[in-house]
Amino acid sequence: MQKDDLVYDIAFAHRACECSDPENAAAWLKPAPGRLRTSAVFRLAGMALAAGACSLAAPAATAAAGLVPHTAAYSMQVSPAGSNSGILGGRGVLQLEWRRDCDGMTYSQQSTLTLNSDQGAVFDSAVRIESWEAADASTFRFMLENSIDGEVTEEVSGLARRQDDGGVEVRYKRPAEKRQMMPAATVFPWQQMRAVLDGATTGVRYKWFRLLRGEAEGDPVGVAVHIVGEEGPPADGEGLKLPAEPGDLLPSQGWRIVSGYFEDSVQAEPKLEIAETVLASGVITRATITYPEMSMHLKLQRLQRVPAPECGK
């Protein structure tokens, strides 16, 4: 396994897959005889996972009430998938922030990961993401930077605008200037989070999404989502550093959500699977990202509220 292949592809879940056929996703979501669904699964989103009604006109009021602006820090631990994975293990940290303004939501993420290969090599990877999304899902501005051992290996930036017919025009600035049109079913990350919260609270268990992540290749990615069941915050806090009054940051209601990312339309199984626990506030408490070579486990360590703006005053 080459160094760039190892670190670049697993630096984070942002190296997922390309769009595929929803029929394959539907087949994957149905439990098969003798198959343990909870053993194979499921997703973080670094952003937020998707479930529920995928309406392009998700109510802005629901989104505002559901996602509580916050900063969260996570520990990351990596375990090999088998003896031939090429990876002995690894660890890292991730910090993300959702910050609301009067017109939309800003998302930022920084992560660092150190991996140990079975040949004794050590690799350091870092990912930085910045994005802003309009509350009405009309505009999405994005930037991604990936580096290995301190050297920038990938830069992506661009602007997406929804057209009158619902389609999405994406103008990339990096890595090269280009224009790409995407179908009307394409959703943005915060828009997808609205669908997660709306769908979970209304009992929608399965959904297919075409998500624009803001990457150089593969967008919009095909994502099949299954809400497995309810799961609230850790009962004992498990060493969490919390604000003095967490309030609606840690509501009792939450869900275990499973997502599969499909690389192409002929695959019966997803290339990447992610499982996460998402609270009604939008806070992710734990997650597992499963690759063919390894699994990455994330656990919430610190949580802080981000002040909301006083708009219209």
Q: Supply 234's token pair.
A: 């850790």
**pLDDT exceeds cutoff 70 at 145:** yes
Q: How confident is the model at residue 111 (pLDDT cuts 50, 70, 90)?
A: very high
Top pLDDT among 216 and 120 is at 120
pLDDT of 9 > 90? The answer is no
Contacts of 112 (CB under 8 A, 6+ apart): 92, 93, 124, 125, 126
Residue 23 buriedness (CB in 10 A; 0-12 / 13-18 / 19+): exposed
Residue 4 has pLDDT above 60, yes or no: no
Residue 92 has a pLDDT of: 94
What pLDDT does residue 121 have?
Answer: 80
Q: Tell me the pTM.
A: 0.75
Q: Extract the tokens encoding 229.
A: 């069941």
Give the three-class secondary structure for 223: strand
pLDDT at 236: 64
Which stretches within the chain are classed as H helix? 3-10, 22-29, 60-66, 189-202
Query: Which residue is associated with the tokens 């690894």?
Result: 90
* Half-sphere exposure of residue 226: CA atoms within 13 angstroms, side-chain side: 19
Name every residue whose Cβ is closer than 8 Å to that of residue 237 and which is 6 or more positions away in sequence: none
pLDDT at residue 216 tops 50 = yes
Which residues fall within 8 angstroms of residue 131, CB to CB, at 6 or more apart?
Answer: 106, 107, 108, 140, 141, 142, 143, 189, 214
What are residue 292's DSSP bridge partners? none
CB-CB contact of 68 with 233 (8 Å): no
Asked if the model's pLDDT at residue 22 lies above 70, the reply is no
Give me the amino acid identity at 162: R
With a pLDDT cut of 90, the percent of the chain lying above it is: 36
Q: Is the pLDDT of residue 147 over 50?
A: yes
CA distance 193 to 210: 13
Mean pLDDT for the stretch of residues 209-228: 84
Evaluated on CA atoms 18, 24, 28, 30, the torsion sign reads positive
